[in-house]
Structure formats: structure tokens, C-alpha cells
Amino acid sequence: MSLTKLARARVQQLTPYQSARRIGGQGHIWLNANEAADSGQFNLDCARLNRYPECQPPQVIERYAAYAGVDAERVLVSRGGDEGIELLIRTFCEPGTDSVLICPPTYGMYAISAETNGVNVVEVPLTDSRQPDFDAIIERLEEVKIVFLCSPNNPTGDLVDRDGLVRLLNAAKGRALVVVDEAYIEFCPEHSQVDLLTDFDELVIIRTLSKAFGLAGIRCGFTLASPEVIGLLLKVIAPYPVAEPVAQIAAQALSDQGLVLMRSRVDEINRLKTELAEELSQHAQVQDVYAPNGNYLLVRFTPGSEMFARMSRAGIILRDFASKPGLADCIRITIGSRAEMDAVLDVLQKEQ
Ligand SMILES: *Cc1c(COP(=O)(O)O)cnc(C)c1O
């Protein structure tokens, strides 16, 4: 007898998140998961691996708080930003009755985490100018516990309008959480909404070491929120969410030296991104280059499928968004090393 029938009905029906690693593909140039092209060097002290790690390693919390410019009591560290998203849903949403609100096209994990936990998803699509539809969101606030916004938005790259966000936060007072996912904020730090945390207890910010810090492999992310919200999340989080080697590497990545390395990586990626955007926009098969605020460019080709196949034949793995609403012919290109960007341009310019 198949054991699938024993699983929860909801799980049987679930389509798992199509992560870049799961989709994979044949190729040697990986530009499909917004990873960095390098990670840096770290030292590991294995003397204490016989002991369980701290739930919230103090040095990691203190250093992230200092880096983000918030009090340590507003910081939670978890197994990637994804675990922060999941914890928020598990802490605030009653399965079967509560809902979260998302603004597609956006990051896929908000809906996947909600569905896995039996929580409904209300969709309020981005406007034609690719902003959250703040009026429409405010109208539906009674129905939802959490609003997920993403800034820069993955995959479109757009930043959430600050006046709209403040309007939403005022409307959400005491009624719903407003999450701003800043996974890519290091590429445009002047646009962080982190300073609003002290004015609005409903605001939650998601961060990660997976992108600008070049550490997707260690699974380490942060949730920034009011001390009250952090306290609630700590009731739900696993007892040892952050492995000891992860805590050691994260602390080093957040040291003064680590931050210098991160910022120089960001400068280089932003430089390569500007160059690539200019080259792309002059190309006959490129219709649109979307907002360049993250470590990626969403590009509309004519046609997208042909360009995706061409890149793939050259061993370059990109991420196809053609099936997403409003993103026909759109492909997301992660900004990798200079050599990788040259390879992309080569394919573009050669076989036209
Ligand atoms: C990558 C990403 C995250 C979190 O990634 P983790 O690797 O789980 O830290 C969160 N939000 C967005 C929009 C992302 O692109």
C-alpha cells in the first residue's frame, strides 16, 4: 500500500517550491538562484561541536543588530530568511481559517509556506507600475493576518514606495503584520525601511546572508521586528535552529572585515549589473530590462524561450519566469563574475 495516502490531504496535493537547485539543468554557469560568485574565507573551531549550539548565538545577534542599526532585542536569527517567513506564518496564522496577502509576481515562498501550513493566500497583484496596490491591500486588511511585500522585489527588482508603505502600516495598526522582505537590500542600502521599525510595531523585515554576503550555503537569515513579535517567534522556533559552524561563519561574515568584503562584492556586482543592463538594452532581441536594484536583472526578450534555450546550449543556466502572470518572455539573470557576464554577452552577440 502506498504511504502517500497516510500523508495529510493538503500535503498530498502540494506542489513543492521549484527551487533553482531542484530545477537544475545541464550547465557550468549558474545564474539562476541569485547566489554570489564567491563566498570568502572562514575559520572553524571544532572544539565545542559536542555541545548543542545556542538557540540565538549572542555574537551573531549583536553583530547583526549593529550592522542593521537596530537594538538586539529586535533581531531573530534563523535557518535562512525562508525560516523567518515560515515562522511568521506558523506564529500568527491559524491553519484552515487565517490568510496571508501577497502581491504577485513576487517571491514564491510566501505562498508555499502558507499553503504547507494550511493558511489561505489572498492575491492582490502589483499595479501596472509594478507597485503594491496599497488601496486594494488596505481594503482587504480585515481578511488577512500578514501582508508580504518584497523590496527590491524578486523577480521584478522594484522598490516598495515608502509613502504607500507608511499608509499601509497606519491602516494595519493592531490588525495585521506588514512584512517587507529585504533579502537584496545590501545592493541598494539607502532604500531600507528598517528605520520605520521604531514607529510601527506591525512592521517586520526579513534579511539574509544568502545574497550579498555570499553565504547561501550556510542557511542563515534574520527577522527584524518589535521585541513583542520577536518574543512570539521565539516561542515557535526550533530549540537549535542555527548550527554551531553556521554561527561561527555568520559572526565572521558580520565582523568589520566581513562587512568590508561584503560591500566590495556589492560594488563589483552593481558595476557589472550596470554594464550588463546597458549592453542588453542595445540588443535587438531585448524588449525590456526591469529595475536594477538587486543582484539580478529581469529581462524581457523577443522571444524569451528561444533566448533561454540558446543560453542553455552554451551551458548558462538562467531562471525562466515566462509562466508567471505579466512576465511572458521574461528571464532573470543573476549577476555573477565578470567572466560569467562576458559569457552571457557572448551568446547574445554571436548567434543572432
Ligand atoms: C533568497 C531570498 C530569501 C531568503 O533566502 P534564504 O536563503 O532562505 O535566506 C528571501 N526572500 C527573497 C525575496 C529571496 O530572494
Q: How far apart are CA 258 and CA 33, in angstroms?
A: 22
CATH, residue 304: 3.90.1150.10
Average pLDDT, the chain: 95
Same-domain pairing of 52 and 112:
yes
126-134 mean pLDDT: 96
Q: What is the model's pLDDT at position 17?
A: 73
Between the CA of 156 and the centroid of ligand 1 the distance, in Å, is 14
82: Cβ below 6 Å to ligand 1?
A: yes
155: Cβ below 6 Å to ligand 1?
A: no
Say if residue 241 is preceded by a cis peptide, omega within 30 of 0: no
Least Cα distance to 162 among 190, 198, 202 occurs for 190
86-106 mean pLDDT: 97
**Least confident interval from 15-19, 172-176, 244-248:** 15-19
In this structure, which residue's CA is closest to atom 11 in ligand 1? 183
Same-domain pairing of 66 and 151:
yes
SS3 label, residue 1: coil
Same-domain pairing of 104 and 88:
yes
Same-domain pairing of 155 and 73:
yes
Ligand 1, atom nearest to 216 Cα? 7
334: Cβ below 6 Å to ligand 1?
A: no
Q: Judge whether residue 242 has pLDDT over 70.
A: yes
- Residue of 86, 102, 109, 179 with the most ligand 1 atoms within 8 Å of its CB, for mutation: 109
Among the three residues 207, 226, 257, which one is the final residue of a domain in this structure? 257
Same-domain pairing of 194 and 318:
no
Same-domain pairing of 304 and 268:
yes
The total number of structural domains that make up the chain? 2
Among the three residues 257, 278, 294, which one is the final residue of a domain in this structure? 257
Among the three residues 257, 283, 307, which one is the final residue of a domain in this structure? 257
Task: Write out pLDDT tens, residues 164-196.
Answer: 999 999 999 999 999 999 999 999 999 999 999
Which ranges of the chain does DSSP label H, i.e. alpha helix? 9-12, 20-23, 58-68, 80-92, 109-116, 134-139, 162-171, 227-236, 244-253, 256-281, 304-313, 338-350
Q: Judge whether residue 351 has pLDDT over 80.
A: no
**Residue with the three cell numbers 559536542:** 50
98: Cβ below 6 Å to ligand 1?
A: no
